[in-house]
């Protein structure tokens, strides 16, 4: 009984210490690692949230861009950091759901080495074609692909990118053959799509909008399960002949596994508050992104489901880790 009493006292002291840490946190600058170079959507969104957290927490959130290896370097850095909540990662499909299946030794376990904080946004993609193509919707695209097996092409921002895997998922679900044409980034893919050199590209809405307005490209479907307020008149792929089809880019904040629960709870509250601000929501719209938050447990479940989904797609596409 004496041992049990001391054990209970110890647990109580630990809980109290964590609570105090949570109240005081942060007492020094916090580093947010963004796994891509500056100026892209990930960087813009990460810096936006970092600025709001700096204002709310009264400590500088220092942005650290760590590009390379598709985000593996950044993720490994956070996974191996001191588990105190002072190193954050802007997480997303590349680091958490896709790369772990494409690298034999990524240097981290996406489902075990991080403590989820909150989802911060989702970005639907748009299935875009050259306006001259005689296709009005996904059903037309599938019919044309079946009539010309292997002759239609889909561009991507590179092997293993969301645009690549989105095309592979469509091929599998529709039972069609299309040829993958990888590029070094979405910008180059759009150039060839505009020139009619490739048939289709699944990319971000914001980047496609100017071309849609000019009538040079046609957006035939969005890749979320529900229609997006960003393009309310455009149907989803799911409602256009492929029920269950979904490709979503998402952004999250995670820290190193083992960080105090009280610190994670405080971070969650402040991140949710930041995303709820009018300033962030307005800027999200311009980026083709929709605000989304949740609890750490909800983010953990979301990440796990996305991890499993893309693992199946990568295996079905015959892609092997390197």
Q: Do 77 and 129 belong to one domain? A: no
Q: Do 171 and 191 belong to one domain? A: yes
Last residue of a domain, one of 214, 240, 266: 240
Query: Tens digit of pLDDT for each residue in 130-145?
Result: 999 999 999 999 999 9
* Residue of 128, 69, 131 lying closest to 321 (CA atoms): 69
Query: Tens digit of pLDDT for each residue in 241-251?
Result: 999 999 999 99
pLDDT number for residue 2 = 45
Q: Do 226 and 291 belong to one domain? A: no
Q: Do 66 and 144 belong to one domain? A: no
Residue 200 lies in a domain: yes
Contact by Cβ (8 Å): 218, 129: yes
Helix (H, G, I), strand (E, B) or coil at 41: helix
Under the banding of pLDDT at 50, 70 and 90, the label for residue 12 is low
Residue that the structure tokens 């993720």 belong to: 75
Q: Do 210 and 107 belong to one domain? A: no
Say which CATH number the domain at 158 has.
3.40.190.10
Rounded Cα gap, residues 9 and 257, in angstroms: 25
DSSP single-letter state for residue 118: E
Q: At what angle do helices 278-286 and 41-57 cross, to 10 degrees?
A: 180
Residue 118 lies in a domain: yes
pLDDT number for residue 11 = 53
Residue 322 lies in a domain: no
pLDDT number for residue 320 = 86
Structure tokens at 198: 């490739």
State which residues form the domain around 99.
2-122+250-316
Query: Tens digit of pLDDT for each residue in 246-297?
Result: 999 999 999 999 999 999 999 999 999 999 999 999 999 999 999 999 999 9
Rounded Cα gap, residues 293 and 49, in angstroms: 12
Last residue of a domain, one of 185, 216, 240: 240
Highest mean pLDDT among 4-8, 17-21, 49-53 belongs to 49-53
pLDDT for residue 240 is more than 60 = yes
286: left (phi over 0), alpha (psi -120 to 50) or beta: alpha
CA torsion, ordered 13, 15, 17, 20, to nearest 10 deg: -140
pTM above threshold 0.85: yes
The average pLDDT across 144-168 equals: 95
Under the banding of pLDDT at 50, 70 and 90, the label for residue 191 is very high
Say which CATH number the domain at 17 has.
3.40.190.150
């Amino acid at each position: 009984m004496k041992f049990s009493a001391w054990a209970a006292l110890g647990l109580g002291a630990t809980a109290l210490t964590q609570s105090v840490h949570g109240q005081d946190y942060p007492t020094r600058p916090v580093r947010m690692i963004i796994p891509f170079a500056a100026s892209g959507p990930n960087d813009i969104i990460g810096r936006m949230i970092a600025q709001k957290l700096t204002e709310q927490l009264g400590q500088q959130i220092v942005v650290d861009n760590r590009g390379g290896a598709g985000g593996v370097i950044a993720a490994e850095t956070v996974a191996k950091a001191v588990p105190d909540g002072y190193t954050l990662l802007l997480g997303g499909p590349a680091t958490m759901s896709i790369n772990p299946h494409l690298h034999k030794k990524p240097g981290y376990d996406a489902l075990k080495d991080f403590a989820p904080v909150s989802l911060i946004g989702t970005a639907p993609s748009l299935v875009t074609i050259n306006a001259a193509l005689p296709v009005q919707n996904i059903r037309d695209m599938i019919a044309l692909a079946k009539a010309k097996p292997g002759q239609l092409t889909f561009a991507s921002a590179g092997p293993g990118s969301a645009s690549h895997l989105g095309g592979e998922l469509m091929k599998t679900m529709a039972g069609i053959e299309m040829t993958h044409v990888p590029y070094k980034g979405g910008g180059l893919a759009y150039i060839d799509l505009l020139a009619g050199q490739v048939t289709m590209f699944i990319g971000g809405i914001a980047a496609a909008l100017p071309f849609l307005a000019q009538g040079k490209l046609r957006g035939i479907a969005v890749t979320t399960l529900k229609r997006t307020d960003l393009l309310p008149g455009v149907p989803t792929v799911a409602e256009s002949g492929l029920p269950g089809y979904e490709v979503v880019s998402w952004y999250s904040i995670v820290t190193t596994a083992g960080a105090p629960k009280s610190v994670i709870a405080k971070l969650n509250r402040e991140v949710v508050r930041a995303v709820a601000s009018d300033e962030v929501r307005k800027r999200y719209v311009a980026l083709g992104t929709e605000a989304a938050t949740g609890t750490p447990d909800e983010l953990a479940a979301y990440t796990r489901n996305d991890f499993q989904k893309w693992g199946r797609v990568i295996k079905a596409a015959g892609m092997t880790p390197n």
